[in-house]
Amino acid sequence: MPIHNADVATVFEEVADLLDLQGANPFRIRAYRNAARTLSQLSEPVAEMIRDGRDLSELPDIGDDLAEKIEVIVQTGTLPLLEELEKEVDPAMTELMDVPGLGPSRVRTLHDELGISSRAELTKAAEEGKVRTIKGFGEKSEQNILKGLKDIGEEKRWLLSRADPVVHSLKAYLEDHEAVEKVDVAGSYRRRKETVGDLDLLVLSDDGVAVSNHFVEYEDVVDVASKGDTRSTVRLRSDIQVDLRVVPPDSYGAALLYFTGSKAHNVALRNRAVNKGMKINEYGVFRVNGEEERIGGETEEGIYGLFDLPYIVPELRENRGELEAAQGGHLPNLITLDDLRGNLHAHTTDSDGQDSIQAMAEAAKERGLEYLAITDHSPAVAVAQGLDSDELRRQMDAIDELNEMMVGVRVLKSIEVDIMKDGSLDLPDDVLDELDLCVCSVHTSLGLSEKEQTERILRAMDNPNFHILAHPTGRRLNQRGPIDVDLDRIMEAAVERGCFLELNAQPQRLDLNDVYCKRAKELGLKISIGADAHARDELDFLKYGIDQARRGWLEPGDVLNTMSWNEIKPLIDARR
């Protein structure tokens, strides 16, 4: 079984958790966590790097020791150190560290004093009032633990699309206050991550007390977790946590940078500061020789400038090479929504969409798109009333008629054809041949082994009517994980055969993810950003696709549908 980067990262995270519980050297623990992060964000598979004889210790935060441990994990699937640690520390205890308010120290105390090593045991002890008897814990801690235990079961990250309306109304409410000069939403929201865990609001104001008071009085606030002059935290009725920071003008840029993150980006930037005899925190940038001298902090641009770096957009701030790229002057010229010239994934009332072909085409035209592929389902998706050959041919005729009538947008004849379990396509080749292009996807047999799933898709790709692989991993955020598939093999095969992969822009899919988008770019594989719209307004999902594409370093030239149809058509025909 191939070992993926994520598998190695998981082993290192488990090691770090167990070392944490042992009270080991915190820097050693951090080293394992840093390495896990490097691995989970690395776009190239380490197994492949090992096979190619590459030196893993050249990766950031990987030294000789961890490079060797990675090789062991790739070869054996496990690590002797982890097995040792699991004998010394009850691994069940790690689940206690996820309880808000509990870190390794307090978990250890709970274990040593009350013999607690699971959430169930902790719940029981807290309910019986035993936790408050331990030194360092009190009644309040006990209540918070019970609350944390309750919340943890319901913890979900929010889709970006669900956070958007919440952000807009809260922002408007804050901006309405006279002491507020400016409001920015920082954090993963600003980095346009596919999901956000909480919202980080930054307010420019000289009156922190007034702003904080106004903030906690917002009508949707149901719980005030903390409240101070510069920082407050609340929970909204919709169960999202909002952190507010009030910042004066001269440190606004520093605060925006700091609270936008990512943490990894900030740490990397800070290390650069230290090496240059400077210090950077949320208040500004300081020169530290003898006494501190403030040298910047008003704007993000100014701060990057102090490190001789150009401005780095929030979407890239993940410490995945953006600082090095900025330094070398080769930051990507990221794609924007305006670069898209068409959309190659849309449904109509002919299958499970809500609008007619014409309505969808007009909506595409209104959004400035030059072409729109109609990709209704094939028969295998019975619940969606997928089209059989005859129905598809009738739809093709309707599209021909529409194209004669409509000006300014071209409707393409297409299909979202199912990839069957055996790797065949769900419609015969003679009808697929008549289409402008085919979008292919997996909707069934999601539970196949990685080998079976990969070979199934590769077999489908052998068909010359296979052009775009839609939502390649099938994941649904907060609902189900990706199918087991060797995407690296799929992507390499797609490059060889002249196929493309989709970045499905539905907010709950956003599939491919950012890391694989970057991998595709490195392989020279073009991505189609597809709205997968089931209604007119869902063409606006494209903006979420663009967000994800930018996080994946994609430039206009990396994306198929920044090309005109006349440029794309020969690429499709070359397969046939």
Q: Name which of residues 79 to 138 contact DNA (CB under 7 A).
A: 81, 100-107, 132, 135-138
291 contact partners, CB below 8 Å, separation of at least 6 = none
Phi and psi at residue 288, in whole multiples of 5°?
-120, 85
182 is a contact residue toward DNA (CB under 7 A): no
* Nearest-approach distance from CB 99 to DNA, in angstroms: 7
Could you tell me the smallest distance in angstroms from the CB atom of residue 258 to DNA? 8
Q: What share of the chain is helix, strand, coil (3-state, %, to 5)?
A: 50, 15, 35
Q: Does 227 bind DNA (CB under 7 A)?
A: yes
For residue 542, state whether it binds DNA (rule: CB under 7 A). Answer: no
In a 13 Å sphere around the CA of 419, the CA atoms on its Cβ side amount to: 31
Is residue 70 a contact partner of residue 46, using CB atoms and an 8 Å limit? yes
Q: How far is the CB of 88 from DNA (least distance, A)?
A: 15
Whether 329 and 516 have beta carbons less than 8 Å apart is answered as: no
Q: Which of residues 290-319 bind DNA (CB under 7 A)?
A: none
Q: Which is nearer to DNA, 27 or 407 (CB)?
A: 27
Q: Does 139 engage in binding with DNA (CB under 7 A)?
A: yes
Smallest gap from residue 6 Cβ to DNA (A): 19
- Comparing CB distances to DNA, the nearer of 144 and 561 is 144
Distance CA 260, CA 220 (A): 24
Counting contacts by CB under 7 A, is residue 478 touching DNA?
Answer: no
- Which CB, 282 or 484, lies closer to DNA? 282
Q: Which is nearer to DNA, 243 or 416 (CB)?
A: 243
If the CB atoms of residues 263 and 451 are measured against DNA, the closer one turns out to be 263
- Size of residue set near DNA by CB under 7 A: 60
Closest listed residue to residue 420, CA positions, set 387, 386, 445: 445
Does 231 bind DNA (CB under 7 A)? Our answer is yes
Please list every residue from 551 through 570 that binds DNA, using CB under 7 A: none
Region near DNA per CB under 7 A, out of 20-28, 361-369, 382-390, 534-542: 20-28
Regarding 270 and contact with DNA (CB under 7 A), the answer is yes
d(Cα 304, Cα 311) in Å, to the nearest integer? 6
Cβ-based nearer residue to DNA, 33 or 410: 33
237 binds DNA (CB under 7 A): no
Out of 118, 238, 271, 566, point to the residue binding DNA (CB under 7 A): 271
Q: Which residues contact 45 (CB under 8 A, 6 or more apart)?
A: 4, 5, 488
Cα 563 from Cα 153, distance rounded (Å): 46
Q: Tokens 């020789």 sit at which residue?
A: 289
Phi, psi of 239 (to 5 degrees): 70, 30
Provide the minimum distance between the beta carbon of 10 and DNA in the complex, in angstroms, as a whole number.
17
Site for DNA in 383-412 (CB under 7 A): none
28 contributes a contact to DNA by CB under 7 A: yes
Segment interacting with DNA (CB under 7 A) among 119-127, 223-231, 334-342, 445-453: 223-231
- 278 vs 546 by CB, closer to DNA: 278
Amino acid at 215: F
Beta carbon of residue 32, minimum distance to DNA (angstroms, whole number) = 6
> Any contact of residue 60 with DNA (CB under 7 A)?
yes
294 strand-pairing partners: 286
**What residues contact 312, with CB distance under 8 A and at least 6 apart?**
265, 304, 322, 323, 326, 331
Give the separation between CA 236 and CA 225, rounded to whole angstroms: 11
Q: Contact, 441 vs 471, CB < 8 A?
A: yes
What φ, ψ does residue 203 adopt, rounded to 5°?
Answer: -120, 130
Q: How far apart are CA 97 and CA 117, in angstroms?
A: 10
Residues forming the site for DNA (CB under 7 A): 25, 27-28, 30-32, 34-35, 57, 60-67, 81, 100-107, 132, 135-142, 144, 187, 198, 200, 226-232, 243, 259, 263, 266-267, 270-271, 274-275, 277, 279, 281-283
